[in-house]
Amino acid sequence: MSVISLSALDLTLAALLVLALAGLTLWARLAVGRSLLIASVRTVLQLLLVGLVLQTLFDHAQLGWVALMAAVMLLVAGYEVMARQERRFAGIWGYGIGTATMFVSAFAVTVLALTTMVGPSPWWEPQYAIPLLGMLLGNTMTGIALGLDRLTQAVWRERRVIEGRLALGDSWLCATSTMRREAARSGLMPTINAMAAAGVVSLPGMMTGQILAGVAPVEAVKYQILIMFLIAAGTGFGALGAVWLASVRLFDHRSRLRLDRLHPGRR
Amino acid sequence: MERLLDVRRLETEQLGPLDLYLQAGELVQITGASGSGKSLLLRALADLDPSSGTVRLMGRDRERIAPTDWRRQVAYVPAETAWWAETVREHFPAGWQPDQAASWLERFSLPEEALDWEIERLSSGERQRLGLLRAFLNRPRILLLDEPTANLDLENTRRIERAVRSYLAETEAGALWVSHDTLQRGRLGGRVLEIRDRRMVA
């Protein structure tokens, strides 16, 4: 295994490409030049920082530090889920539903994969645990955010129908069945699409990275398959759980639709 | 005589505390300026909005009746009924009786094919009549009618008034009818209660 190390000059050349693009957008008056540059600078800073953090973590491989890193990743992902909701739950629930379901699904799947499938020693070896968890959290986050957003939007839009059905004596489960099903489905779709297109339309990032790092393609593919399945499971369980928790929260003990528990988000 | 519906110190965020009752077979009208909370009162009674106080149906406390049973017995019918599936019959409550439906179709001046009509093609008069019919199939003890004829012409309004009257006469159920229309008030008769400043004025 050999990696060609990149020099500062290599990165500068790549940066020139972005600068050229920024120049072109300026000339075309697309008004994205500024955000393009800010985003590029953020990429550099954030990735350098995370590189340093990971290096330190690898050098001091202790369960406590790995757990801390995992917790930070979870909390940030939880915030992202909440920020993507147009109508999020008021109070602790706004943050809690996404974070709790991500914790249960992404963490459980990661730990299961580490202990039974990948099997590094110790099982929390940061070189394996952190990237694995990162990929799972990133995808689970998208699935949960989509599912929750879809559910709350649909319930808000269809409140008259829901209450009409409640008024006729339907249970809240029955009155929301279509909406819950569609929300869960939309949370799962990105993962299903990614699996269906894997290798044909796109070469998945992790596999590409491993091949660049000199790993034999067949080995890289095996890892990619494992990851895809883990992501599907994590995202699926997460989205289903989040949609379920959210729909429970939308009704009270007398099966009243409680839209007052939602408030409009930032958009 | 035991009251069919007995409401004591009902209170929501915007309404009450207020008391009211209904006798078997009775129709009581609710009036009040717009925004005075007439709809909120009906929604609270149907347990669609949270409220405090005691609400008893034939002596039984609401809290002791499961919400789905409560809403089947205390039927809320809004000014615009909600429809979600393709045809009329898909909106009927589980276990509805075809002979009952047929008898009500006739009294609402609707043909038997109406059960298979597409919702998209219903007129507002047909929607309201079918919306009320659908609620009748649950055999409710109380009808909470929130301006059920607000958007209808006189002919359809009269049909609905007659149907409600005959439902009450036949089943000894009671009704709270929210109405703006003074002519309708005269036609319906019975007690009239007004909501003013969160309270009930007889």
Q: Closest Cα to residue B112, out of B98, B123, B122, B124?
A: B98
Superfamily per CATH, domain B5-201: P-loop containing nucleotide triphosphate hydrolases (3.40.50.300)
Which residue ranges make up each domain of chain A? 1-59, 61-264
Does the pLDDT value for residue B161 go beyond 80? Answer: yes
Mean local confidence (pLDDT), A158-167: 96
What's the residue count for chain A? 267
Chain A hits for B68, Cβ within 8 Å: 169-171, 255
Average pLDDT for chain A:
92
Share of chain B above pLDDT 90, in %: 84
Rounded distance between C-alpha atoms, residue A136 and residue A243, angstroms: 18
Does the pLDDT value for residue A89 go beyond 80? Answer: yes
Mean local confidence (pLDDT), A93-105: 94
**Cβ neighbours of residue B199 under 8 Å, at least 6 residues apart?**
B16, B18
A15 min Cα distance to partner chain B (Å): 55
What's the residue count for chain B? 202
Does the pLDDT value for residue A267 go beyond 50? Answer: no
Tokens of B182: 């003074």
Does the pLDDT value for residue B189 go beyond 80? Answer: yes
Q: In what order do the strands lie in the sheet with B27-31?
A: B74-77, B142-146, B174-178, B27-31, B192-196, B199-201
Span A248-264, pLDDT tens digits: 999 999 999 999 999 87
pLDDT of residue B76: 97
Does the pLDDT value for residue B38 go beyond 50? Answer: yes
Mean local confidence (pLDDT), A169-179: 95
Burial string for B116-144 (b: 16+ CB within 10 Å, else e) reads ebebeebeebbbbbbbbbbbbbbbbbbbb
Q: In what order do the strands lie in the sheet with B60-61?
A: B18-22, B5-11, B52-57, B60-61
Please name the member of A161, A171, A258 whose beta carbon is closest to the beta carbon of B68: A171
Mean local confidence (pLDDT), A199-207: 83
Does the pLDDT value for residue B48 go beyond 90? Answer: yes
Q: State whether B71 and A169 contact (CB < 8 Å).
A: yes
Chain B hits for A169, Cβ within 8 Å: 68-69, 71-72, 93, 138
Q: State whether B78 and A168 contact (CB < 8 Å).
A: no
Does the pLDDT value for residue A1 go beyond 70? Answer: no
Tell me the pLDDT band of A2, cut-offs 50, 70 and 90: low
Tell me the pLDDT band of B182, cut-offs 50, 70 and 90: confident
Q: State whether A161 and B75 contact (CB < 8 Å).
A: no
pLDDT of residue A84: 85
Does the pLDDT value for residue B116 go beyond 80? Answer: yes
Rounded distance between C-alpha atoms, residue A100 and residue A241, angstroms: 9
Mean local confidence (pLDDT), B32-57: 94
Mean local confidence (pLDDT), A87-104: 93
